[in-house]
A and B are shown apart, each in its own frame.
Chain A
């Protein structure tokens, strides 16, 4: 035991030393990469970039309102984490030095594409690992604000989970379960309510994982509709590896809703207490209880139902017009076959 402890301590000190060396290398690389660069400041954005025709200032002016409206008062803190951008020749045949800091953008990008690059690479300020893990995706301004809730609507309707269906039908407790903002005990039973769902999860998502070795007999029993075997297999999964019934876009939308409801300081409140439960943090950010926030989220999703598959009126007119046109061509055909 003592020998193992010594070995672990030795590994820890080696890891710390490696970490220090990596920090030094990173710092040196940053100095090397930004030597001779200009700094562009727009709002809280600081962009360190080499001289080039890339329209970064215009792009930053276009991106800043979206960033500011998401992070609110915390957006000003982005100045502490400047973008490092290297505008490169769009000709890929041109040789260039390899840098490990920042991002590379071809200098012939237009304002729109450059603004998109900024919006898709901005790092959320003060985002702690707990919130990042729960979200499962980076919290950034959305490029298509209407598509995100519509995609969540489709998930609510089509996700193979009774819990999600219950949420769609208005059961807020189910919504909290599938969004993972209620307590985390007994998640398996609350996410995958019916034996059929648990069996489908084991036999479709974890076939390779369970079909060999010591779990193979249980896997076979699960395939024979034995729910106890399916449940035992799913409970044996490492923590955090049970697939969530709703994709990350649903949780992202919940955070956006909380930030929208909570005003300019909402984001600051969201990241203020990294050790608090997610529900409490969201509630604090939105300045309302979590149930009201989830109701608001659900209402937002339901109103974002995708456009029905009706044929637009002009498509019908166009089809009739083309039919008439080709019919007229036929009427004009000659009777003589010479």
Chain B
């Protein structure tokens, strides 16, 4: 099983190495760029707000990067199977669920690189910066949030990609039906807020996309 995993990992690395390398470089660079200028010796009280503003602006890139990495890695993991119409998988002396698990695990291992890059980049950025009194750095919390966001994004799109065209059609159909019902309800002046309900279910509390929301701040009060 270990040998199989090594082979799957190697093939997935070959297919997705450009994504992994670029994602890792971006994950390393964003924290450093967000704290640019924070190490200046002449930085006075005027810059605390500017620093927070800069950190907040750059912070919007973390969830975007996490989503992009999750989507691209999930698509790449199944691209060869889709091209070969999944015949190769049928020829393997392996149950389907084991094959999927190997692909799923290999993706996780490859995604460890950008997650580690966020941790190293943010730690380095914090170590080289001189933070104004009262501000605190949160490199570990930021990395944990990024890791969870990457894992969730990867798992969602991996599940969609692993499914059949029929499954994808059902998912798209459900989304289209929700939009259609909401539009019709709006026209008929019916008090129905499906978008609000979807927002609550998906983005708030323990919703699947809740980890993407909130403030992605490397430095804050």
The chain A residues found within 8 Å of chain B, CB to CB, are 153-154, 156-162, 164-165, 168-169, 194, 196-197, 200, 305-306, 308-311, 314-316, 318-327, 329-337
Contacts and interface: CB of A to CB of B under 8 A. Distances in A.
A309 B96 contact: no
Contacts of B151: 319-320, 323
27 contacts: A153-B134, A157-B48, A157-B133, A157-B135, A158-B49, A160-B46, A160-B48, A160-B49, A161-B45, A164-B45, A168-B134, A197-B46, A305-B221, A309-B141, A309-B215, A309-B217, A311-B141, A318-B211, A322-B155, A324-B155, A326-B152, A326-B155, A330-B163, A331-B101, A333-B100, A335-B89, A337-B86
B44 interface: yes
A334 B49 CA distance: 54
- Please name the 7 residue pairs, one residue from A and one from B, whose CB atoms are nearest each other, closest first: A157-B134, A319-B148, A326-B155, A318-B206, A330-B162, A326-B159, A333-B162
B133 A169 contact: yes
A200 B46 contact: yes
Interface of B: 44-46, 48-49, 52, 85-86, 89-90, 96-97, 100-101, 104, 132-136, 138, 141, 144-145, 148-149, 151-152, 154-156, 158-159, 162-165, 167, 206-208, 210-211, 215, 217, 220-221
Nearest to B167: A333
Given A157-B133, A320-B148, A326-B158, 12 more contacts: A159-B48, A194-B44, A194-B45, A196-B46, A309-B220, A314-B206, A315-B211, A323-B155, A332-B97, A333-B159, A335-B90, A336-B164
B148 A316 contact: yes
Contacts of B154: 323
A325 B135 CA distance: 38
A324 B221 CA distance: 34
A317 to B, nearest CB: 8
Contacts of B49: 158-160
Contacts of A197: 44-46
A98 B34 CA distance: 55
Contacts of B96: 331, 333-335
B133 A327 contact: no
A44 to B, nearest CB: 39
B144 A311 contact: yes
Contacts of A310: 138, 141
A197 B49 CA distance: 13
Contacts of A330: 100, 104, 155, 158-159, 162-163
Contacts of B206: 314-315, 318, 321
B159 A327 contact: yes
A311 B145 contact: yes
Nearest to B156: A326
A115 to B, nearest CB: 26
A329 B207 CA distance: 17
A162 B158 contact: no
A162 B148 contact: no
Contacts of A160: 45-46, 48-49
A311 B211 CA distance: 9
A158 B211 contact: no
A337 B83 CA distance: 12
A38 B149 CA distance: 58
A85 to B, nearest CB: 29
Nearest to B149: A319
A188 B142 CA distance: 40
Nearest to B218: A309
A325 B149 CA distance: 15
A300 B3 CA distance: 61
A331 B163 CA distance: 9
